[in-house]
Structure 1
């Protein structure tokens, strides 16, 4: 039996992520929502979702000892970070008055600047609703998706990665920002696949069958 562990640190819509993963799981795969360190260490795949503020998230992770555990778990098994679970993997966020993050991926998290949209009106922050993602490269998690798939976003902050090679997808919202990152067995997205209908379910389907390697067959 293969275990997919959804990391429970009390932030966001964790149960909807669990239900979406269960919908796409094969027989022989079980999905667990857990904050138990031993269960996380033994899991075959890890999913790190979340909503809310970076400062609260880091406090919640620290209270469970997960801030020390997670960096060691992102290098040797498929690991999917979603929404806040993408941002927390970076080095620093200007949210919550400025907070140091897990530092797994080099780069920072910053609020969208005030900008005008194509009609001359200020763009709304948060960026909320459906938007396209332009994949960068042939990553296995993009397989079977349209050329520019639609996903659902809700966020006021976005990641600014240091390494262009880590960018796996981009989205336009007043600027072009990195909406997906990938490095080794780690893949992250700013969107909510569990709220993204067929495209989101297909991405989760791919993750549950991904061997953690880079471009290649799923």
Structure 2
């Protein structure tokens, strides 16, 4: 089954496309509402700021089809900023998110958690991510799996049962979410070598 990668000017489409192909999947970029409505599996990448990304989705008419496909049960995976766009809102911007996994995105606040206030923001580099429950997309990612992160904000789902992965940077935060067919990971699987390849392979095979 082909993975349709949303192309809206703010994601590493080429890197994700190549990684999907490396793990034996088929992938293609999509940037129009019509192409997106024909998708049977969707990956939403994203880098940069929340409002810019949401504005781009709206300008290309992709926000509505994304919500439609999620409602239809089509597997949808958001990565990095793409995961944050699944939220209801973000402290980084004023625009509402897609609202597919209700929650808010907030900036790291080490002082609130009595954590090391000397930690740098953004959180950048390799870090662990541990599954808090079973799901096909994290199959084979044993404890100790490490991924590449670059972010200043993290997801706080309204419903704790939507949490899929957790990581620690000063304090524990949600690094993966899943509600029915909608998933998201805060890290960059396309930059995370064998563990990222396993996760993308799992998604391509859903």
TM range (shorter): over 0.9
The structural deviation recorded for 1:99 is 2.6
Q: Does 1:80 align with 2:77?
A: yes
Question: Tell me, which stretches of 5 or more residues in structure 2 are unaligned?
Answer: none
Task: State yes or no: 1:56 paired with 2:52.
Answer: yes
1:207 aligns with 2:203: yes
Moved over 6 A (4+): 116-119
State the partner residue of 2:22.
23
1:15–1:90 distance in 2 versus 1, CA, 3 Å: same
Matched residue, 1:42: 38
Do the aligned partners of residues 77 and 94 (structure 1) sit closer, same or farther apart at CA in structure 2, a change above 3 Å counting?
Answer: same
- Worse overlay, 199-208 or 16-25: 16-25
The number of aligned residues is 205
Q: What secondary structure sits across from 2:200 in the alignment?
A: helix
- How much has 1:25 moved relative to structure 2? 2.5
Q: TM-score scaled by structure 1? A: 0.89
TM-score by length of 2: 0.94
RMSD (Å), alpha carbons: 1.9
1:192 is matched with 188
Structure 2 distance, partners of 1:117, 1:36, is 43
Gapped regions of structure 1 (runs ≥ 5): 211-218
Render the CA deviation track for 1:36-76: whole Å, top value 9, x for unaligned. Answer: 22221112210001100001001101101112221111231
**Are 1:91 and 2:98 matched, yes or no?**
no
> 3-state SS of the aligned residue for 2:125?
strand
